[in-house]
Amino acid sequence: MLQVSCNNAPVTGQITVSQPSVLLTFRADNARSFRDELEFSMLATRLSERRFVRRVEWREGGTPIPVLPAAGVFGANGSGKSNLLKAMDDMRGCVLHSFRRGDPEGRIPRRPFVLNRARRAEPTEFEVDLILNGIRHMYGFCIDDERVLDEWAFHYPKGRPALIFRRSDEKVDAGSVERQKTRAVQELLRPNALFLSAAASANHAALLPLYQWFSRNLVLAEADSRPFRQALTTDMLGDEASRDRVLALLQAADLGIVDARKQEPDPVMQERLRRAIRILAGTDGESDSDDGPAFEELGVRLVHRGADGEEVELDAADESFGTRVWFGLIGPVVQALETGSVFLADELDASLHPALAAELVRLFQDPNTNPRRAQLIFNSHDSTLLGDAAGDRLLGRDQIWFTEKSDDGSTRLYPLMELEPRKQEAIGKRYLDGRYGATPVLSHGEFASAVALEPAGVH
């Protein structure tokens, strides 16, 4: 079980936020392409840019912890960048679905490292360390294909860990919080279901906020989820409280859009939209992108300004792919900023201009646009997001992570700060030069040989 020190020295000039819910660390072992243990941290360090750091209260009377609002992961194609975000989503899915929708006699869906036969059969482990409503919590579990082997939850109301529960196979130690309710939940427990999931269904007061953190956080924006995210943006256009923000982000992207008009859907489409939003929120089962409504079905007409100033509604089919991608990002981004949640963006730069991707990152980095301490974790190939000039950097040195593929196909995740970069270092340039690793090793000769044709007449 991961142990993280909270003795981080405060940095003057940082913003202190009370009663927050933020992610501190995520750990996984034998998950997807990560054969070995990975540890990903959102804790600020001595290399932090002070303007980006938020000091977050984690217990009564405790020294606030410096936390980062954003982090980016960079690496070659196939190195495992996406798998970090997907591993987080795997943990979320197990928490949300293992009890309510799991087959009582079924297997536990998981993604161990499959390129090694022995490792494939070994357990998978997840753990998060977070601050929930101003109190630090730690929660994790260990599973194989058939059962939950271990599961634990602690909190730190007075600065020291206090057990909420500890489960080993089907035996549960009730700890010191809501002991009677914990024992009652044990009667509902199945070998292949998480105790946290069962406790939430039983309305366990001490554990329900932890479960709700998973339901409202770690929302993964990937290609397969785009139809569901577009449905969310469409729904927010009909909400008075969110419409102005959604429309303002459509206009700010310099796509030529001046307005968005939402048609009233018929009852069948209305239910499809509602279900798409529930699927995105993890409250209506798991699905694939084929279940989400197509962009043309959403009933949204984006209004563009013509050369003579005339406002023209374009058919959805005529909108560019980049416009559709941005439309699908706006809803989750606005929602994350409004609720202070963790937003996971896979391939942030895909079909977006680098300047637009950079502005999205700035929304999370800027305390004025992100007063509720939302967090963005993304991956990208765009080296311009790394920056070169120290004063103009979009990301601090401890907000940059790399993935590299090992000879056995496994992923190694490591932070830039591990390489001790200088404050004035040209990070973007040095990354492209291969000074940090995490770049592809390519040979033009191999590419040329692959497509070489025999001269005409040669047999």
Cα R_g (the chain), whole angstroms: 23
- Residue 322 is predicted with a pLDDT of 92
Per-residue confidence band for 49, with pLDDT thresholds at 50, 70 and 90: very high
- In a domain? residue 226: yes
- In a domain? residue 53: yes
Residues 254 and 160 in one domain: no
Number of domains in the chain: 2
Residues 270 and 376 in one domain: yes
Range 429-457 average pLDDT? 83
pLDDT, tens only, 279-336: 888 887 655 555 789 999 999 999 998 878 788 998 888 999 999 999 999 999 999 9
Residues 162 and 29 in one domain: yes
Per-residue confidence band for 41, with pLDDT thresholds at 50, 70 and 90: very high
Residues 59 and 151 in one domain: yes
pLDDT value at 17 more than 60: no
Instruction: With beta carbons less than 8 A apart as the criterion, state whether 339 and 20 touch.
Output: no
Closest CA to 385 of 374, 372, 400: 400
* CATH code for the domain of 120: 3.40.50.300
pLDDT value at 97 more than 50: yes
Give CA–CA dist 35/119, Å, rounded: 7
CA angle at 366 for the pair 363 and 371, rounded to the nearest 5°: 90
Residues 106 and 235 in one domain: no
- In a domain? residue 446: no
Which residue reads 């009677």 in tokens?
Answer: 180
End position of a domain, from candidates 218, 235, 262: 218
Q: What are phi and psi of 405, to 5 degrees?
A: -90, 130
Instruction: With beta carbons less than 8 A apart as the criterion, state whether 15 and 54 touch.
Output: yes
Residues 235 and 325 in one domain: yes
- Residue 15 is predicted with a pLDDT of 42
Residue 111's domain spans which residues? 15-218
List b or e across 282-318, with b for residues whose CB sees 16 or more CB atoms inside 10 angstroms. Answer: beeeebeeeebbebebbbbbbebeeeeeeeeeeebee
Range 360-379 average pLDDT? 96
pLDDT value at 23 more than 60: yes
- Residue 258 is predicted with a pLDDT of 94
Q: Kindly report whether the global pTM for this prediction surpasses the value 0.85.
A: yes
pLDDT value at 4 more than 60: no
- In a domain? residue 443: no
- In a domain? residue 263: yes
Residues 279 and 149 in one domain: no
Which residue reads 């941005």 in tokens?
Answer: 326
pLDDT exceeding 70 applies to what percent of the chain? Answer: 92
- Residue 170 is predicted with a pLDDT of 81
Range 401-412 average pLDDT? 96
Range 260-279 average pLDDT? 89
Lowest mean pLDDT among 8-17, 257-266, 363-372, 384-393: 8-17
- Residue 9 is predicted with a pLDDT of 34
End position of a domain, from candidates 218, 246, 268: 218
Instruction: With beta carbons less than 8 A apart as the criterion, state whether 207 and 172 touch.
Output: no
- In a domain? residue 173: yes
- Residue 286 is predicted with a pLDDT of 58
Residues 164 and 28 in one domain: yes
pLDDT value at 240 more than 90: no
Q: What sections of 126-219 are H helices per DSSP?
A: 179-186, 195-201, 208-216
Range 23-27 average pLDDT? 98
Residues 187 and 255 in one domain: no
pLDDT value at 201 more than 60: yes
Plot region of 145 (φ>0 → left; ψ -120 to 50 → alpha; else → beta): alpha
End position of a domain, from candidates 187, 218, 249: 218
Range 96-102 average pLDDT? 83
pLDDT value at 80 more than 60: yes
pLDDT value at 159 more than 70: yes
Residues 329 and 397 in one domain: yes
Average pLDDT over all residues of the chain: 89
pLDDT value at 459 more than 80: no
Q: What sections of 134-289 are H helices per DSSP?
A: 179-186, 195-201, 208-216, 226-237, 240-252, 267-281
Note every long-range contact of 132-137, with CB atoms under 8 Å and residues 24 or more positions apart, other chains counting: 132/21, 132/209, 132/210, 132/213, 133/19, 133/21, 133/209, 134/18, 134/19, 134/20, 134/57, 134/58, 134/59, 135/58, 135/59, 136/6, 136/24, 136/58, 136/59, 136/65, 137/210
Q: SS3 of 41, please?
A: strand
Residues 32 and 150 in one domain: yes
- In a domain? residue 203: yes
pLDDT value at 106 more than 70: yes
- Residue 3 is predicted with a pLDDT of 37
pLDDT value at 104 more than 90: no
| Maximum alpha-carbon separation in the chain | 86
pLDDT, tens only, 66-78: 999 999 999 999 9
- In a domain? residue 448: no
Q: Report the length, in residues, of the chain.
A: 459
Instruction: With beta carbons less than 8 A apart as the criterion, state whether 196 and 154 touch.
Output: no
Residues 137 and 203 in one domain: yes
- Residue 386 is predicted with a pLDDT of 92
Range 220-231 average pLDDT? 94
